[in-house]
Structures are given as C-alpha cells and as structure tokens.
Structure 1
Amino acid sequence: MIANEFIQQGYPLYQVLPLCGLSKSSYYYAPAGGKRGRKASASTQSQAGILYSNEYVLDRIKWLLAQEFVDYGYEKVTHWLRASEGLVINPKKVYRLMKQARFLSHRIRRNKTGKRIAQELLPQPVLPFECMQTDIKYIYIHGQHRNALLVTVLDVFSRGVLGYRLEWSLSKHQLIELMKEVLHHYQLPQKVSLRTDNGSQFEAGLFRQYLKEMAIDHEFTHVATPQENCYIESFHSIVESAVCAKYEFESLAEAKATFSRFMNFYNQERLHGGLGNRSPNQFLDSKQYLQKLRTLPSHQQLKITPKDNTHL
C-alpha cells in the first residue's frame, strides 16, 4: 500500500491518509474472517417465552426421527416442533440444524410403468372412498433372499389405506378377496372407480368381472405413465423410506407384523403434507365425515362373511 511506504519514511499519518484518499477506519480495518451476514441464533424461543438451546432442539428432532416409521423431512419436523413442542421456529433454521447434524435423508423414488383407458390424468374425488388406486410393490425378505408382494388399496380423497395383502405371490383370487374385505367394511358412494396398471392380476378376466358386478369402474393407466397412478406411487415411496430402508426382514411373518403396525400408524398418525400435515383419519375428521378409516387387522388372513355391498 502506498500510504504505508510514506508512513514508514516518517511522514505523519494525518498528512498521508488525506493525500491517498483514505480514512482512518479504512486504514486500520482488518477482516475478521468467517462467514458474512448475521450470526446464526444459538437458541429457540417457545410460545411461553422460554429459550431453549439448539442442542435441546436437536435432541427433540433426534427423538422424533428415532420413532418407528417416521421419515420426515425438515418441513414436517418444523410442523411437529411448532405443534407438539410449542417452539417458535422457522423451516430455514430447522433445515440448517438438521443439515449440520446430518439428519436430512434422500428419499428413494421408484418409477413404474402402466397402462390405462382412463379419461383424465388425475382423479378429482369430492367424497371419501369414491376413487381408489391399487398397485403391487416388491418387499425384499433378506432372510429368504427373495421378494414378497405387497398390494394396497388406497383411497385418493383421504390418502388412507383401505386394505392390503403381503404374500409371496398374489393371484386374482386373492385380489378379489381383498376387494371383498374393503367393500365389507366401508359404505361406498354411488359412483366408485378403481385405477390400476396393466399387471396380469389386474387384467385377469375374473377380477375385472367381479369389479363389474360390484359396479366399480375399473380404469387402467396408459403405458409408461406412472403419474396417472401417482397417489399409490407416492404411498410406495413412503413405504420405501419409512419401512424398507429401516428393516431387514428375516421372514415373511416378521414383515407382516411390521406392516400391520405401519399401516395403522399411517392411517391414524402419520403427518401427510398433501392433507395439511394431518393423518388420513385426522383429515376425514376435520371434514366431519362420520365414516372413518378402520383399524386394519393383523397379517392373519380373515374370513369375510357375505354382506350386501350395494353402494349408497
């Protein structure tokens, strides 16, 4: 710096700085290092005005994520901290804390193809149980070194699970029994549709005939358009991150027991972003519908007694 050269030669500071166009503050400034901007807060305030340290907040987040089947990202964690813990905290801070603690996860998403003779890309139900979607997902059983098949019937309106089966193989007869179980436990609206891909079990004449007899409109998705079955695909993504990524099943019986717990947790408790961070049953309750999602039975096969399935 030119000013330093003259100052070192003995010229007074008050004469050199004006000639060089420098103020005293500029001459004496030394960068402190570190990140620019406002320093990150070290505490979080509760709605009651109590301050909690970031370490406390991280402990609560760690506890939440350790719960069985909880696979929340920072937005759902923020909602939980506000609603259940009473903290005044924004998503940016939760994201920063979770990133620093390596609590953020990357969800595995799967692409499936299918076909359909459907009229519209996405169904627009106005009533519960009016539009259903179903599909089959592979569940790997580590102890047996083979895949089991999970088929789930999902209500599009509430995103709730109406019924499911987890078996080594699934036949058209088992799918019919699953649909009989759904129809036995729920009173359906006058007009009902079920959307599937072109799997052989769904295309089977016996299965299609049964749906026709029950006055259920059976829709197939177009080839290579999984977005037409996006609600069941989204559910499968949740299954992948909340169950499959956390468990290595030694037997089919162990997998069935785990999925029995998961399905009821999903219906009754799991926060769903598309439902305003409510569970499917909480969503139905907020809409004041009398019919709620039932507690799903354990993995043992149930015998369904005949019932009049005439739609409402």
Structure 2
Amino acid sequence: MYDRVAIAKRWIEKGYNPNKVLNSVGLAASTYYHNISNNTRKADQKTKNRVGRKIPGYSMTRTGEKVSDEQVKEYLSELIAGDGFPYGYKKLTISLKEDYGLIINHKKVYRLCKELNILRPQRKINPSRPKNLAKREKVTAPNQQWQADIKYGYIAGTDQFFFHLSLIDVFDRTIIDYHVGLSCKAIDACNVLKNAIRKRGLVPGMKMPVVRTDNGPQFTAKIFAETCEKLNIEHERIPVKTPNMNAYIESFHAILEDECYSRNEFRDFAEAYRVIAEYMDYYNTRRIHSSINYMAPEEFYQQIISRQITGQPLVA
C-alpha cells in the first residue's frame, strides 16, 4: 500500500487529476490522505527534534593544537583586564588571532563573551573590588605566598577537556590542594583555598598567606573575592601577559605535563582522575627537588616548620 501511496503522490504532485490517479492505482481518497497526513506529521516531528551541530568545546591554533573554550575565556578575561578594554567582540577576535594564534570567528567570540558577561553594554566595573596587582616580593618561609592556576587536560577516549586547578606554596613547592573536574567554577577555587587553609592549620588571628593568581574568570569572580576577604587573605593578580609573575605554579604545570599528561592517553575521566591523584601523591611525597635540598616538598615543609633546617629566601 505504501508503494501505491508514493506512486500516487508523485503523479498528483506533477499536476495530474487526483481522482483519476487514485482510481488508477486502486486507492480510496480517504486512505491516501490519511497516509499523507501521517507522513507529514512524522516529518515535522523529526524536524522539531533535530538539533544543531554539537558545539565542539574547543578552538584550533594555526599549529593544529586544540585550545578549550575555557582557556579561550581566560584569554578574553586577560584581554578585557588589560589592553582589550574597551574592545568589542570583533576586536577581541582579532586579538585572539594575533596574540594567541587561534583560528576563531567573531560569532564564537560573541558567544563566549556573552557567557562571561563581558559584552560592552553589559560590562560592569565594581570599584568595591579593585584589582590588586602582584609585585616582586621576598619569601622567607612557608605560608607567605601561594600561587594558583588552572591547567587543561584532554581525554582522548571521550574527546573532551578537563580542568586541573592547583595551589602551590612557593617556598616549599607543596601542592597544598587541587581540584580536578570536567568543570571548574569560582566555587571550586574557593573550596581549594579553604582546604589549603585547613591543611596548613591556619586559624583566625594567624598571619595568612598572599594568594597570587592570573586574571581567569574563576579568580575574578565576586565569590572568590568574598572568600578571600572572609579568610583575611590578600589576593593579588598578575598583570596581563606576565606568566613569569606566577612562575612557580607555571613550573609545576610544566612538570605535570611532562611527567603525567604527556605519558598517558586517558580513556575516560575516571582514569584521568585516578592517574592524576596518584601522580599528585608522588609529587608531594616522593619527587625530590634540587631547589629544596633534594627533598620531596612535604618532607622539606615538615623539616622547615620543625626547625630542623632553614630554607633559602627567594623572590617571587
């Protein structure tokens, strides 16, 4: 019957008399139009259920490397905080192409700017949270300066990125706390900071460390500023395009890439989480550093606070 309906439909669409066509193929008019109506509804439903192309979640560089959308958002935040202001999304697109070598169009930049709420008509400057720029300072003991940053990893098995936020004590090189997840929001950065305070046994009334970060959205968020204020922690942010001001956490992430990420092709997030957790334990408790008397970070920290040894001052 469906073949006869299709044949009749084809001839009727060509302009032949419907009654003659239906009589010739042996179909009742009610049967024909009932089937045509059902097919139309099914086609409309398929069109309604059809979704657009899945957003890949990354952009490519001119050298063929994948850069996650979250990393692009960080670039945009830095451009807005620095030379990008008061650029609109089209000028930001040019800056991303020239400064970071991205292959990206203005439509995607518009979408990412909208997600960050930094489109020009929406941009707000809050004078109650002024930017505290980082300055070179001498560090002579643990818990004087901590540095935090986010590294992006890739899961080959599921073709998705994950986030690794780490907090390092620049004096003893310990990664005090970290977050690994498929997302990384300001609340996650706040939790890492709170956990680090707890692990180091710092309580109200004690001198708190200075926390240094870049200008990523997790660190410029209102909730992160409020958490630092509540903990009586001074938060300073490095100037735009000066990663050397965050050298200790950048150095750790380079080690992490060389000794962990580049040696593993993760099948899924569970495997990535397990491998990273094992490496972080190794880094803190067993990996020796020439800059801290050829000790592991936690051993060096324990000997410093028990005054068995004295470390060399450094400038960070």
In the superposition, the TM-score normalised over structure 1's length comes to 0.54
Contact 2:134 2:245 in 1 (8 A): no
In the alignment, what sits opposite 1:117? 132
Matches within 5 A, 1:79-158: 117-121=132-136, 123-158=137-172
Task: Say which structure, 1 or 2, has more relative contact order (CA 8 Å, 6+ apart).
Answer: 1
Matches within 5 A, 1:254-293: 254-289=271-306
The alignment partner of 1:138 has SS state of strand
In the alignment, what sits opposite 1:173? 187
- Across the two proteins, how many residue pairs are aligned to each other? 179
Task: Work out the CA distance in 1 between the residues paired with 2:198 and 2:134.
Answer: 28
Task: Work out the CA distance in 1 between the residues paired with 2:174 and 2:304.
Answer: 14
**CA offset at residue 289 of structure 1?**
2.8
Deviations 1:121-152 (A, max 9, x none): 3x422221221100000111111111101000
Task: Work out the CA distance in 2 between the residues paired with 1:282 and 1:181.
Answer: 20
Q: Which amino acid aligns with 1:276?
A: N
Contact 2:165 2:179 in 1 (8 A): yes
The alignment partner of 1:175 has SS state of helix
Please state which structure has a larger fraction of its residues in helix.
2
Contact 1:135 1:232 in 2 (8 A): yes
Query: Does the C-alpha gap of structure 1 residues 245 and 230 become closer, same or farther in structure 2, counting only changes over 3 Å?
Result: same
Task: Work out the CA distance in 1 between the residues paired with 2:254 and 2:261.
Answer: 10
Unaligned runs of 5+ in 2: 1-73, 82-130, 308-316
**CA offset at residue 159 of structure 1?**
0.5
Q: Which amino acid aligns with 1:148?
A: F
Is structure 2 residue 223 aligned with structure 1 residue 209?
no
The alignment partner of 1:287 has SS state of helix
Q: Percent identity?
A: 30
Task: Work out the CA distance in 1 between the residues paired with 2:198 and 2:299.
Answer: 22
**CA offset at residue 119 of structure 1?**
4.7
Query: Does the C-alpha gap of structure 1 residues 288 and 165 become closer, same or farther in structure 2, counting only changes over 3 Å?
Result: closer
Cα RMSD between the aligned structures? 2.2
Task: Work out the CA distance in 1 between the residues paired with 2:180 and 2:254.
Answer: 17
**CA offset at residue 118 of structure 1?**
3.1
**CA offset at residue 273 of structure 1?**
2.3
Contact 2:143 2:208 in 1 (8 A): no
Contact 2:134 2:237 in 1 (8 A): no
Q: Which amino acid aligns with 1:125?
A: V
Q: Which amino acid aligns with 2:284?
A: N
Task: Work out the CA distance in 1 between the residues paired with 2:302 and 2:212.
Answer: 25
The alignment partner of 1:150 has SS state of strand
Contact 1:117 1:222 in 2 (8 A): no
Q: Which amino acid aligns with 1:202?
A: F
Query: Does the C-alpha gap of structure 1 residues 246 and 157 become closer, same or farther in structure 2, counting only changes over 3 Å?
Result: same
Query: Does the C-alpha gap of structure 1 residues 219 and 258 become closer, same or farther in structure 2, counting only changes over 3 Å?
Result: same
Deviations 1:44-88 (A, max 9, x none): xxxxxxxxxxxxxxxxxxxxxxxxxxxxxxxxxxxxxxxxxxxxx
Contact 2:148 2:168 in 1 (8 A): yes
Contact 1:160 1:267 in 2 (8 A): yes
- Single out whichever of 275-284 and 237-246 deviates more from structure 2: 275-284
**CA offset at residue 276 of structure 1?**
2.8
Task: Work out the CA distance in 2 between the residues paired with 1:118 and 1:277.
Answer: 33
Q: Which amino acid aligns with 1:216?
A: I
Deviations 1:278-305 (A, max 9, x none): 2112222443538xxxxxxxxxxxxxxx
Equivalent of residue 246 in structure 1, options 263, 283, 289: 263
Task: Work out the CA distance in 2 between the residues paired with 1:173 and 1:278.
Answer: 33
Unaligned runs of 5+ in 1: 1-111, 291-312
In the superposition, the TM-score normalised over structure 2's length comes to 0.53
